[in-house]
């Protein structure tokens, strides 16, 4: 079997969008003097959809959520030529070919996201050819079903956040993640606002449900040092990405500082990147995203590293490429789940592009033992809401 074609299309949303408000979610741009519309960089309204075709007519589906126009160009100009003509079952060879050929300028960021998309599509092909769901090729079912946590709760009015938290409890979720709205530039008032929001959510969900806290790299080390002790009493399951992804020593210091486990990794790449995080005990939870880390081929290596270090893996985002790994990996206790709703920051855009993601029931998702591949297809219902570039 040979790969005969790779088609990368950019899907850019032009439909109705819910505008995020100020202090909706802290993020890495908050540190800059001219804040402007820092939420502008936090929106992901375009994706690259990658279809890898074989001489037997089987098509594998992968996707990239980072810098879609650039990832398309990397696929078209550099990666496609390295992959066309190869047998998809030589996935490790193909991965190394892409990784090593782009090593001078790739390794991390958009290039690795583009490699990830092709790799995910290749695993989809292998599942379809063998008539098995991808998780059955990765180790099979390690859990009856996947516990998942509801991940939204952006900073809005506290009453609204409380209503949203209650709605997740009503749907049967026992775990949820909220976002902070304030960072270092907001001073003591922002610290108070952040603490008030955690208090408000805890008031609704109590301490018999898990609460995760998300900073999205919107703090700096000094600010995190000051606020972490004040958050300890809320017993978060973890506190996510307090500082920028490159500050690995900062992660290690914070992870060692209080009883709060620090999590991260959605902006880290390949097993080499995660080895550094693990060696320094920088994170207590690993959160790679399969469509950034280097695809399924790289993610399973990270899983093996995490398992021997005793660090749980909870991939960033729901989505099939992550669910299949979580299902087949003992090191993964749960999945993230982005609720389906109107397009806002873009986390939810996946549901408008693809069909097939399982809907959670009482806080769990399950995968079909009989559905070959990843179980995804392109959602035809919303095609007219996108500008699509071939």
Residue 240 has φ and ψ, to the nearest 5°, of -105, 135
Token readout for 347 is 């986390």
Largest pairwise CA distance in the chain: 62
Query: What mask, x for binding Mg ion by CB under 5 A, covers residues 169 to 208?
Result: ----------------------------------------
CB of residue 341 to Mg ion, shortest distance in Å: 17
How does DSSP classify residue 153? -
Q: Return contacts of 382-386, CB within 8 angstroms, 24+ apart.
A: 382/15, 382/352, 382/353, 385/13, 385/14, 385/15, 385/352, 386/11, 386/12, 386/13, 386/14, 386/15, 386/352, 386/353
Least distance to Mg ion, CB of residue 251, Å:
14
- Stretch 207-266 residues interacting with Mg ion (CB under 5 A): 240
DSSP string, 280-302: TT--SEE---HHHHTHHHHHHHH
C-beta of 13 vs 238, nearer to Mg ion: 238
Nearer to Mg ion, 47 or 338 (CB): 338
Tell me whether residue 106 or residue 273 sits nearer to Mg ion (CB atom).
273
316 flagged as catalytic: yes
The residue (of 30 and 51) whose beta carbon lies closer to Mg ion is: 30
- Nearest distance, CB of residue 190 and Mg ion, angstroms: 20
Q: Are 82 and 54 in contact (CB under 8 A)?
A: no
Catalytic residue from among 23, 45, 309, 316: 316
Pairing mode of beta strands 335-337, 285-286: unpaired
Smallest distance, Mg ion to C-beta of residue 71, A: 20
- CA 299 to CA 343: how far, in whole Å? 28
Rounded distance, CA 384 to CA 240, Å? 36
For Mg ion, the closer of residues 11 and 42 by Cβ is 42
Q: How far is the CB of 82 from Mg ion (least distance, A)?
A: 31
Dig out the tokens for 230 from the structure. 């004040």
The set of catalytic residues is 316
Residues forming contacts to Mg ion in the complex (CB under 5 A) are 240
């Amino acid at each position: 079997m040979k790969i005969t074609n790779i088609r990368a299309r950019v899907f850019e949303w032009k439909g109705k969008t819910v505008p995020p408000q100020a202090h909706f979610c802290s993020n890495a741009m908050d540190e800059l003097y001219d804040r402007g519309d820092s939420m502008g960089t936090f929106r992901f309204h375009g994706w690259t959809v990658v279809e890898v075709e074989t001489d037997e007519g089987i098509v594998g589906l992968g996707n990239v959520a980072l810098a879609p126009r650039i990832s398309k160009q990397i696929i078209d100009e550099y990666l496609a030529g390295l992959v066309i003509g190869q047998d998809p079952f030589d996935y490790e060879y193909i991965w190394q070919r892409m990784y090593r050929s782009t090593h001078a300028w790739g390794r991390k960021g958009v290039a690795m996201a583009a490699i990830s998309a092709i790799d995910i599509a290749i695993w989809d092909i292998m599942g379809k050819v063998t008539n098995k769901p991808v998780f059955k090729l990765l180790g099979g079912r390690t859990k009856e079903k996947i516990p998942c946590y509801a991940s939204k709760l952006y900073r809005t009015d506290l009453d609204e956040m409380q209503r949203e938290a209650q709605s997740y409890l009503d749907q049967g979720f026992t775990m949820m993640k909220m976002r902070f709205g304030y960072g270092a530039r907001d001073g003591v008032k922002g610290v108070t606002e952040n603490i008030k929001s955690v208090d408000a959510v805890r008031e609704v969900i109590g301490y018999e449900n898990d609460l995760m806290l998300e900073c999205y790299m919107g703090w700096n080390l000094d600010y995190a040092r000051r606020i972490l002790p004040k958050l300890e009493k809320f017993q978060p399951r973890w506190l996510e990405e307090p500082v920028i992804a490159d500050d690995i020593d900062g992660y290690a210091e914070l992870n060692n500082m209080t009883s709060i486990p620090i999590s991260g990794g959605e902006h880290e790449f390949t097993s080499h990147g995660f080895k550094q995080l693990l060696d320094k005990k920088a994170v207590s939870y690993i959160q790679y995203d399969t469509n950034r880390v280097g695809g399924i081929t790289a993610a399973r290596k990270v899983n093996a590293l995490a398992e021997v270090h005793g660090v749980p893996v909870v991939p960033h985002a729901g989505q099939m490429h992550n669910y299949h790994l979580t299902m087949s990996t003992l090191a993964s206790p749960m999945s993230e789940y982005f609720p389906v709703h109107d397009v806002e920051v873009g986390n939810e855009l996946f549901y408008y592009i693809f069909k097939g993601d399982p809907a959670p029931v009482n806080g769990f998702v399950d995968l079909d033992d009989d559905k070959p591949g990843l179980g995804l297809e392109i959602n035809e219902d919303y095609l007219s809401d996108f500008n699509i570039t071939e």
